[in-house]
Structure 1
Amino acid sequence: MPNRPPAPGQPLTDRTEFFVPDLCRVRAVFMLLVTSELMVLLLAVMQSANQWIDWNYFGLLSLFVQWTVLTSAALICTLRPWLSQLTTARASSVITVLVLLDVFAFSLFADNVLNPDPGITGWQAIGKKLLAAAIITLMVLRYFYLQSQWQQQRQAEMQARLTALQARIQPHFLFNSMNTIASLISTRPDQAEDAVLDLSELFRASLRTQDRLISLEEELALCRRYLMIESLRLGDRLQLDWQIAPGLERQAIPPLTLQPLLENAIYHGIQPNPQGGTVRIEGYRRGASVYILVQNPKPGEDQRRHSGNRMAMDNIQSRLLALFGETAVLKQSHHDGIYTVTLRLPRQTVPAPSRARTR
């Protein structure tokens, strides 16, 4: 059972990977119960001689199996922190022993009721149950292990893909920022120097490629530095309207997600217009999702077809899909002369930065 993104509102923290799913979660236990019930149904079909299903046998065996699964899951859930520190072989051995002890304890009470063959009684019947439990447990653990290995490989491939996608943004961003600074050197050298300092601080943050997700607060700080550079070049032609609802500071977002959207808004919506215009940045929460909107005057037909705009949108969409799956959405729309890019993210938070990191 592959790991999934944290539930809405759950902090993103570094966790020690363990190949057995977290049986403290209702979903994981429910899947085990459903799987075991299907196995009981198959045994009941095979047991019946005169009808499709021996319902009496099915009911009694189902009761035995469900209680065994629930109590074994509770034991593994309780011992999970300790089991996660063991090697895979030792953890598998301990889990198998726990399940066998659980099956043995229930067999002592249920053997006489559930034994379908009156010629086999006592310890022989219990031994058969223990053998079946051992085989099934080892098969399930093998499945969990293979799923864990597949998930780790998928995570490694995703990390490499995210790094490559982010690397494609940075040269493009640097090129445009340096052009802005170059245009200021001859006319406003002091402001050009300030812009270089802003750019250096901005890149110091953007080059943290080890962070797959950062807080919205950090991303907005990066965007403000970029907009300060652009405001030096465009002056009063660039107007900003910030409408970020409170409480979204720790919302998780991939780095360099909003900055390319703002860059497109300026280069395709503000710069071609001699009168300039207003870029509106809005953020709010609705249900289990967080919405971030970037609005600018509707660009001309030639600007909307600009390949750089399409590349940035495709890049962001690919990173969102790799990190959040289908729960994240990026879409474009235009109405009444306003071009809007809407970003929908699942409600997740990142931990507050440590004191060492903020210094």
Structure 2
Amino acid sequence: MLVTSELFVLVLSIVQAEQGWIDWNYFGLLSLFVQWTTLTSAALICLLRPRLAHMGIAGATLAIVTIVMLDVLAFSLFADKVLNPQPGGILWQSIAKKLLLALLISLMVLRYFYLQHQWQQQQEAEMQARLTSLQARIQPHFLFNSMNTIASLIDSHPELAEEAVLDLSELFRASLRTTEQLVPLSRELELCQRYLAIEGLRLGERLALDWAIEPGLEQQAIPPLTLQPLVENAIYHGIQPRAEGGTVRIEVSAKDRFVYLLVQNPAPEAGESRHSGNHIALDNTLARLRALFGESAVLKRSRQNDIYTVTLRLPRQTVNQYKRLVSR
């Protein structure tokens, strides 16, 4: 607001100048007046934010415009009486022009903030809808396979069957928890462990796991159900089609200002087309990351030496740090 108002003063000073490019005396006096009114009006509005938040759009707009107009009137009277006294008394026509100009500028600024707020709400609504859709997506084949595995364990290994039921219920609970935009990385890793425990019962020795988690990143902020779908794709496309199975590697590390998450699995054999089916899930994941973290979030997929790798790059910050940043 300060920069915008100063640019506005600069334009008026250029228009006002009769000689040269700019009237510096006019620029200095008008800058002093505009900056003081801008600062004091913004300070008063900030102090009244709790009350303004409970008003409707029309009420808040009227209150803010009233504050700005009274502030401009007070400084105009002060300027005419003290800084630039006129022999004929107060120049009400000049003050009226300033009030009209302040009214127009205030309405333009409020309109800009309103449109920006509407755009942010639309972005949040779209992101929440995408998140809800993704979280509600429990693959039918995974559910059927899990239930069959649990049924086969009830008689022979009831303890394992009970643990599998608890793991499955936790996965469903996470898919229905749609109010959280970010969770600690430790919770997402725990969810992956529960998912892999269920798949381990079904695949047995065909599934090997390689965990490489750098300590100290437990509170890293990550959208819920971001890593688990990548692990699910690694199982479905990299392990399940192979009779000999394979290894899924999950790696988490930090470098500079970023945290890197890697999910690796054996690449599909030549002619295998099912792997392309996870592109939509990867695109949805990237869209969620960009909505939350902006361009600093990156998702890449690569294939090298028969190893398929999906890499996530997130800015290094905790959930609380993200909330404080957004609240600004």
**Aligning the two structures, in what range does the TM-score lie when normalised by the shorter sequence?**
0.7 to 0.9
**Is 1:61 aligned to 2:30, yes or no?**
yes
Q: Which has the higher helix share?
A: 2
Structure 1 residue 69 displacement after superposition: 1.5
Is 2:183–2:223's contact at 8 Å kept on the other side of the alignment?
yes
| Whole-Å separation in 2 of the counterparts to 1:159 and 1:185 | 35
**Is 1:285 aligned to 2:251, yes or no?**
no
**Is 1:340 aligned to 2:306, yes or no?**
no
Structure 1 residue 194 displacement after superposition: 4.0
Structure 1 residue 228 displacement after superposition: 0.2
Letter of the structure 1 residue corresponding to residue 116 of structure 2: Q
Structure 1 residue 220 displacement after superposition: 1.6
What corresponds to 2:144 in structure 1?
178
RMSD (Å) for aligned C-alpha atoms: 3.1
Q: 1:304 to 1:62 in 2, by over 3 A?
A: farther
**Is 1:222 aligned to 2:191, yes or no?**
yes
| Whole-Å separation in 2 of the counterparts to 1:158 and 1:269 | 29
Aligned with 1:332: secondary structure? strand
| Whole-Å separation in 2 of the counterparts to 1:156 and 1:281 | 31
What corresponds to 1:19 in structure 2?
none
Map residues 180-329 of structure 1 onto 2, 5 A cutoff: 180-182=146-148, 185-186=151-152, 189=155, 190=157, 191-192=160-161, 194-303=163-272, 306-329=275-298
| Whole-Å separation in 2 of the counterparts to 1:120 and 1:162 | 67
Q: Alpha-carbon deviations, 1:206-254, whole Å to 9, x = none?
A: 2223333333222222111110011112223322222323343333322
Structure 1 residue 342 displacement after superposition: 0.9
TM-score of the pair, normalised by structure 1: 0.75
Q: Alpha-carbon deviations, 1:79-135, whole Å to 9, x = none?
A: 3233323333333333233323433343345448987xx898634233432332233
| Whole-Å separation in 1 of the counterparts to 2:150 and 2:60 | 64
Gap runs ≥5 in structure 2: 321-328
TM-score of the pair, normalised by structure 2: 0.81
What corresponds to 2:318 in structure 1?
349
Count of aligned positions: 315
With a CA cutoff of 8 Å and minimum separation of 6, indicate the structure with the bigger relative contact order: 1
Q: Alpha-carbon deviations, 1:155-210, whole Å to 9, x = none?
A: 3333233323444x32x2x4224225425745775345543342123212222233
Letter of the structure 2 residue corresponding to residue 263 of structure 1: E
Structure 1 residue 279 displacement after superposition: 2.0
| Whole-Å separation in 2 of the counterparts to 1:311 and 1:264 | 11
| Whole-Å separation in 2 of the counterparts to 1:47 and 1:119 | 23
Structure 1 residue 67 displacement after superposition: 2.6
Is 1:177–1:229's contact at 8 Å kept on the other side of the alignment?
no
Q: Alpha-carbon deviations, 1:255-276, whole Å to 9, x = none?
A: 2211121122223333344544
Q: 1:276 to 1:154 in 2, by over 3 A?
A: closer
| Whole-Å separation in 2 of the counterparts to 1:42 and 1:60 | 14
Is 1:268–1:304's contact at 8 Å kept on the other side of the alignment?
no
Choose from 99, 103, 125 the match for 2:72: 103
Q: Percent identity?
A: 64
Aligned with 1:306: secondary structure? helix
| Whole-Å separation in 2 of the counterparts to 1:143 and 1:120 | 40
